[in-house]
Structure 1
């Protein structure tokens, strides 16, 4: 334990502030671009884009061994030199990239892969930039250069938006314009981190320790199964939907996930900041209540945003979804609840990572993925995309429940769990009401208002913190 409860909270809030800037501006810009995408891209185009990005998400954990998790943990712990830690990450990246290139080339030549060569090229661009961004960003977290990540995210978002406006509105390049724009944004982000964080200074091919490679890879390998299970929860339903219902419904379903991305943005900010604190400030007895208070506040924020977005779902859809995409509003409520439990599960994962229980993370993720896949095969043939959304929500709920249960057997978390359970039950009730659109809007508003009133203490804490920060800045 490296600080008092107040110091831990201050450090966590500072990182939340930096990650907020890094996340909210790019997410806001992306969110505002949805009407453009749904106007200039067909449901089929959007489905192809979504399948491409999900395929990259599948390949990355397999060929990178999820080494970025080990890069962050070992760069924070300081057991080995930062040069060695980053060196192992880059070696794994290069080795995996070469294997993937050879594999794709062979499969393309013998006719197993029948995808357009241009899409294979974009697949490699997405893979390379995504992998390097993960390794560099996680390394920056470990060496306390979060500010670099913040600026790189903003630059990337601005470049992506400008290029999309140019390529879609002016040049009318369609799906290829979208892919080029996003590729350029990712390249700018990686390049900025490389130079601004002075990554070159840490790159050395000769490792000082002969044990670090094995130790880091052994730590990260169980996380492969966790990442693959996460992919199954988030992406496998789109492949099953394609098989049963066609690629157009996949495009609609992919657009539906844009509204829950609001909740993802908030949850991702806190989870990223807490991932550093969990390793840096870990205390298995939760002596000062830091873990319990952090979980309760995180849970409250996620539930509040989930209820708020679900209440305004139809209105958001009318603004963001055009033409054939408007029907996507139906799938938003269960996807919102899925994101809620995904974020709660991620919070537990960060603590499990701090104590090195990567096998527990892997096991719980696999169970959730199995449940999700089983329900997808049952529900999608009958309910199409809504069945996929319900299956996703159920899979994440199971993963969170198992992680939380097992986590509390290793670590004491001081908080009112019964109160949390009531909050989750309220969210599920609102999900059922939201299935009928605005028919029960009054009841949904009552639920939202009641939740805020009962948890007003958390809101007061937020106001006090903002007030104190303003006083400090005035000085």
Structure 2
């Protein structure tokens, strides 16, 4: 299978899992906004955000090292067993901390549920990266779809039927994680990879040396994506935080497309890093990626206001105004993630940390300045600039590993047209005039990036003809 076809095929497989799972998550937004108040939804979002922060810290991000070294065709049992031991030690630390918090009375009603969720997410992360590393991407994708479907059903049961509120949300997540870990273990026959005699201090040191620079990188990523919630909570209150939490769900649509591609691209980037024509290959892929994501962003902006009038409660409608710059943040995040794979492929993870550290500091400074003045709108601006800075730093720094030819004229034109469309949204035109102006902008974008559609059509036509010939 050619590298282009392999990347396309892997992307399709991840798409089945991600679009299904994230689609279910988005469908739950109207459900949450109906059953939760703004404050309750803000609390749920803040708790989940905090859990996401703790995962890379408590695990030392060892699951990232498991993926990278398994792909180097090293002893799978040795890598996996070492990862299990490190994750188990982290889990014991979580249990101890949970017990201490319980005795102190902190979140006494749900602290043990949260502790178990953390432990299960550590093991799930390890299994998921190992599954990707050994090439079982169908299992990876199906797991995401099944888990999200289960969360949806359990949310309806615990929140709507049993009326358990926030506690019902966490019960749903806990049960779904238990299912996910068992499903992944059974699907790959995980017991065959357990061989704790192979676990050594030397191998643990190698994995941790690789993963530790990624741990603070994850923290910086969290600071940019999520720390704004705490600033909003402090300066504007839980209700505004709830609005911001709802607004962040729409940009996740764009994040779905990036996530689908990134999971496939990370595998291809590692496999192709030592090839002679990697520069040309990386360049072609990036230029097509940015065109695709820009057009998806433009379409989301077109549907933004009509979508909010349908899928969220009246009390959440005004949260649409935070979405446009959060979309731009996701766009720049996608660019920086692509460039970050150059560090991963080269096993130079310190560069990931350095660029993310600068972005995290910039985000904190912008949050301190903009949120007291503009509230949640300031948070969206802060996120956009932070990811833009990370992208620029990685653009420059990764040239020492690989020289990629970028179509700068096309990239700048695309971004300026997106900013023009965002300007139309904030101008307060009549809704029909607004839609017409947006459609004109999208038409220009399609014209500028028409080679993307020709390439997609070419790939689909070849696959269709081959399918018929069979």
What TM bracket, shorter-length normalisation?
Answer: over 0.9
Aligned residues of 1:303 and 1:427 also touching (Cα < 8 A) = yes
CA 1:416–1:465: 2 relative to 1, 3 Å: same
Aligned residues of 2:55 and 2:122 also touching (Cα < 8 A) = yes
Unmatched runs of 5 consecutive residues or more in structure 2: none
Once the two structures are superposed, what CA deviation does each residue of 1:380-422 show, in whole Å capped at 9, x if it has no partner? Answer: 1111110111111111111111112211232021342332232
2:347 counterpart SS class: coil
1:206 counterpart SS class: helix
Paired residue for 2:362?
A: 371
CA 1:435–1:243: 2 relative to 1, 3 Å: same
Aligned residues of 1:331 and 1:386 also touching (Cα < 8 A) = yes
Structure 1 residue 97 and structure 2 residue 91: aligned?
yes
Structure 1 residue 331 and structure 2 residue 322: aligned?
yes
RMSD over aligned CA atoms reads: 1.7
Paired residue for 1:52?
A: 47
CA 1:269–1:287: 2 relative to 1, 3 Å: closer
Aligned length: 466
Aligned residues of 1:23 and 1:269 also touching (Cα < 8 A) = yes
Counterpart-to-counterpart distance in 2, 1:208 and 1:93: 13
Unmatched runs of 5 consecutive residues or more in structure 1: 1-5
2:196 counterpart SS class: coil
Counterpart-to-counterpart distance in 2, 1:437 and 1:238: 28
Alignment of 1:347-366 (within 5 A): 347-366=338-357
Alignment of 1:377-388 (within 5 A): 377-388=368-379
Structure 1 residue 147 and structure 2 residue 148: aligned?
no
Stretch moving more, 266-275 or 410-419: 410-419
Structure 1 residue 316 and structure 2 residue 307: aligned?
yes
For normalisation by structure 2, the TM-score amounts to: 0.95
Alignment of 1:12-411 (within 5 A): 12-78=7-73, 80-109=74-103, 111=104, 115-207=106-198, 211-283=202-274, 286-287=277-278, 289-411=280-402
Counterpart-to-counterpart distance in 2, 1:68 and 1:44: 34
Paired residue for 2:456?
A: 462
Aligned residues of 1:284 and 1:412 also touching (Cα < 8 A) = no
Q: How far is the alpha carbon of 1:436 from its aligned partner?
A: 3.5
Paired residue for 1:3?
A: none
Q: How far is the alpha carbon of 1:10 from its aligned partner?
A: 1.3
For normalisation by structure 1, the TM-score amounts to: 0.94
Q: How far is the alpha carbon of 1:133 from its aligned partner?
A: 1.6
Select the residue among 2, 6, 9 that pairs with 1:11.
6
Paired residue for 1:413?
A: 404
Aligned residues of 1:337 and 1:431 also touching (Cα < 8 A) = no
Counterpart-to-counterpart distance in 1, 2:196 and 2:442: 56
Stretch moving more, 189-198 or 283-292: 283-292
Q: How far is the alpha carbon of 1:37 from its aligned partner?
A: 1.0
Once the two structures are superposed, what CA deviation does each residue of 1:102-160 show, in whole Å capped at 9, x if it has no partner? Answer: 23433553x4xx53223312322321222112111111111111111122112112211
Q: How far is the alpha carbon of 1:329 from its aligned partner?
A: 0.4
Counterpart-to-counterpart distance in 2, 1:378 and 1:356: 36
Aligned residues of 2:220 and 2:357 also touching (Cα < 8 A) = yes
Q: How far is the alpha carbon of 1:285 from its aligned partner?
A: 5.5
Aligned residues of 1:314 and 1:437 also touching (Cα < 8 A) = no
Aligned residues of 2:98 and 2:115 also touching (Cα < 8 A) = no
Aligned residues of 2:328 and 2:384 also touching (Cα < 8 A) = yes
1:411 counterpart SS class: coil
Once the two structures are superposed, what CA deviation does each residue of 1:319-370 show, in whole Å capped at 9, x if it has no partner? Answer: 1111311111010001100111111111111221000121111010011111
Counterpart-to-counterpart distance in 2, 1:19 and 1:345: 20
Aligned residues of 1:259 and 1:316 also touching (Cα < 8 A) = no
CA 1:61–1:324: 2 relative to 1, 3 Å: same
Stretch moving more, 88-97 or 235-244: 88-97
CA 1:287–1:245: 2 relative to 1, 3 Å: closer
